Amino acid sequence: MSNEHDSCLGEHKSGNLSLGAVVDLTSLAGKQEGVAIQVAVNDFYARARIQQYPNLYVENSRGDPIRAGSSGPLEKYNARAIIGFGTWQEAVFVAQLGNESQIPIVSLANDHEVPLWASYQWPFLVNAARSQYAQMEAVAAIIQSWQWRKVNIIYEDFNPTAGGISPQLVAAIQAVDVEISDLLPLSPFTPYPFISENLKSLTLHGQCRVFIVHTSVSLGIKIFKEAKNLGMMGKDFVWITTNAITSQLDTLDASSIFTMQGVLGPIPEPTSSTLQAYDATWAVLRAILEGKPYWKSYKINSTGRFACIDEINGQHLLKSILQIKFEGLAGAFSFSEGNLAPVHFFKIVNVVGKSYRELGYWLEELGFSVSIHRAGSNNSMCSLGQVFWPGGPWSVPRGWAVATNASRLKIGVPADPTFSEFVNVTYDHSGGDPIISGFSIDVFKATIKHLPYDFPYDFTTGIKAYSGGRTPPL
């Protein structure tokens, strides 16, 4: 496969069946997906009964949705289907072209859960990425395991079509009785100063220090760089990333990994997006072959090979793709209500040093385990061994801290209480602060100790006991 031209990799002139692919060739993940798509075409031709070699045209999006949305593979090469897209943004831009040209757009983007209404707006968009709901349950299980009661969610929201915050993530968090303290939507084009300002605001006005980052890897890199600069990758902080970032850790450079020390996150098994790209390409080619009764012109040549596809009906090809079933490299490839069968178990990884280490696994309905072969019901990550937390401490972060500009709550107590066994105020001879004690005070202090966050307060004795119908001065 040649890299001489941005717009075309692996061009083959025999035959008239053309496929398009849109990948980001400036990223390692995109390059790997491009290779996987090409290999799938080669393997399919070698094994299937087709005479003509499918033409494959790979467009380099450079991670730019506008560039991805150019109609290159359609106008230049008359592609019958387009595969790829590293982000939901790219898929959305090309999906509109799919509507206009009535050709299937097969998306591998895993940075957003595809909204339920997407199939109505873009009927030719095929979601070939696995459902994220089980992944969100894995994230929620991590939080529940360490008994953190609140989380902040940073998510990517580039326009109204993105679907906003993932409803699957919100549902999974709420299912384990965890409160969402703050939501921070960021555009993929958000400048560094704006990211810094918003991250700083979360620590100034809130106590929660548990962050879930549900964004594309490019935006995630910017977030962690600013968090590192603000001192938010240290003690008491917790950072959890979703698959769009975690599964790309192998592709990040050393400077990006340095800013992410201590990050936790799930990676679906099998992990490689290249395997999903291979399977999706194979599915499209199989759909073309198995759907031949619907094509407008085809024939079987003397060798028994399928040949001479002159025109493919896009609607029938879409239907054929959605009906394909086979055991792929990344697992069972089968659509149900327009979605692939979800992944049911995940590796839990922890960023340490120059890369990450695998702590163990999380399996749907079973919980955490050091091995997928010895899985039993277990809701605690403690069985996976020591976690390296942000800032390097081995002790589990509290997940909260005193807000930078938090005001201490003043709690009034009677200066001359009637029932001293409940509230009693005494003074020492040095004239210092009053000593406040009693049963009610002890109960209050014990309750405060059990709160999952800091509760700064001061007692004040500027209140006199109520007596004989007098209103106590405040």
Retrieve residue 367's tokens: 């919980």
Spatial separation of the C-alpha atoms in residues 183 and 150, rounded to whole Å = 12
Fold agreement (18-130+271-340, 133-270+343-384): yes
CA of residue 10 relative to chain centroid, distance: 32
In this predicted model, what pLDDT tens digit does every residue of 363-376 receive, in sequence order?
Answer: 988 889 988 776 66
| Residue 141: pLDDT band with limits 50, 70, 90 | very high
Whether the pLDDT of residue 417 is over 60: the answer is: yes
> Is pLDDT above 70 for 298?
no
Q: What is the band of 95 on the pLDDT scale with cuts at 50, 70, 90?
A: confident
Q: Write the pLDDT tens digit of every residue in 300-321.
A: 444 444 444 445 678 888 999 9
- Binned at pLDDT 50, 70 and 90, residue 3 comes out as very low
Q: How far is CA 136 from CA 112, 126, 168, 295, 436, in A?
A: 12, 22, 6, 41, 47
Residue 354 three-state SS: coil
Residue % of the chain over a pLDDT of 90: 28
Give the pLDDT band (50/70/90) at residue 470: very low
Per-position DSSP letters for 103-131, written without gaps between them: --EEE---SSPPPTTHHHH-TTEEE-SBP
Q: Is the pLDDT of residue 436 over 90?
A: no
For residues 377 and 105, which has the higher predicted lDDT (pLDDT)?
105
Give pLDDT, residue 52: 65
Respond yes or no on whether the N-terminal peptide bond of residue 270 is cis (omega within 30° of 0): yes
Contact call for residues 85 and 94 (beta carbons, < 8 A)? yes
Q: What is the CA radius of gyration of the chain?
A: 29
* pLDDT (0 to 100) of residue 183: 93
DSSP 182-231: EEEEE-TT--HHHHHHHHHHHHHH--B-EEEEES-HHHHHHHHHHHHHTT
Domain 133-270+343-384, CATH: 3.40.50.2300
- Collapse the DSSP code of 429 into the 3-class scheme (helix H, G, I; strand E, B; otherwise coil) and give the result: coil
How many CA atoms within 13 Å lie on the side-chain side of 277?
26
| Span 89-113, average pLDDT | 83
Q: What is the pLDDT of residue 332?
A: 84
18-130+271-340: CATH number: 3.40.50.2300
Q: pLDDT-derived band of residue 50, with 50, 70 and 90 as boundaries?
A: low
d(CA 166, CA 112): 7
Query: Would the pLDDT of 249 be above 80?
Result: yes
92 vs 224, higher pLDDT: 224
Element spanning 446, H or E: helix 439-449
* Domain range annotation of the chain: 18-130+271-340, 133-270+343-384, 409-463
Does the pLDDT at position 468 exceed 80? no
pLDDT of residue 142: 96
pLDDT of residue 104: 92
Phi, psi of 313 (to 5 degrees): -80, 115
DSSP code of residue 378: B
If we measure between CA atoms, which residue out of 57, 51, 17, 64 comes closest to residue 38? 57
Q: In what order do the strands lie in the sheet with 331-336?
A: 325-328, 331-336, 339-340
Instruction: Supply the mean pLDDT for the chain.
Output: 79
If you average pLDDT over each of 155-159, 271-275, 328-332, which comes out highest?
A: 328-332
Q: How confident is the model at residue 55 (pLDDT cuts 50, 70, 90)?
A: confident
SS3 of 173, please? helix
Q: Which of 85-89, 160-164, 279-283, 353-357 has the weakest average pLDDT?
A: 160-164
- Produce one character per residue of 137-154: b if its CB has 16 or more CB atoms within 10 Å, e if not: bbbbbbbbbbebbbbbbb
Would you tell me the crossing angle of helices 133-145 and 167-175 to the nearest 10 degrees? 30
Q: Are 73 and 20 in contact (CB under 8 A)?
A: yes
Residue 246 · residue 214 · CB < 8 Å? no
Q: Which of 20-29, 59-68, 145-154, 423-432 has the highest mean pLDDT?
A: 145-154
Residues 21-44 have a mean pLDDT of 88
| Strand extents, DSSP E, 123-166 | 125-127, 150-156
> Using 50, 70 and 90 to split pLDDT, how confident is the model at 14?
very low
pLDDT for residue 402 is more than 70: no
How many CB atoms are located within 10 Å of the residue 66 CB? 11
Q: Average pLDDT for residues 421-442, to the nearest whole number?
A: 75
Cα–Cα dist 129/115, whole Å? 13
CA atoms of 106 and 93, how far apart (whole Å): 13
CA distance 236 to 402: 11
> How confident is residue 472, by pLDDT bands cut at 50, 70 and 90?
very low
- Token look-up 């327009």 returns 338
More confident residue, 15 or 447: 447
User: Is 50 exceeded by the pLDDT of residue 209?
Assistant: yes
172-182: pLDDT as tens digits:
999 999 999 99
DSSP symbol at 464 = P
* Best CA proximity match to 136, nearest among 117, 162, 158, 110: 110
Please state whether beta strands 325-328 and 331-336 pair in parallel, antiparallel, or not at all (unpaired). antiparallel
CA angle, 423 as apex, 419 and 425 as ends, to 5°?
A: 105
- Helical pair 192-205 and 217-229, crossing angle rounded to 10 deg: 60
Using a 10 angstrom Cβ sphere, with 0-12 exposed, 13-18 middle and 19 or more buried, the burial of residue 13 is exposed
Residue 196 has pLDDT above 60, yes or no: yes
Give the pLDDT score at 404.
56
- Compare 377 and 302 and report the one with higher pLDDT: 377
- pLDDT above 60 for 33: yes
Instruction: State mean pLDDT over 11-31.
Output: 72
Furthest-apart CA atoms within the chain: distance in Å = 111
Q: For residues 8 and 130, which has the higher predicted lDDT (pLDDT)?
A: 130
Structure confidence at residue 290 (pLDDT): 76
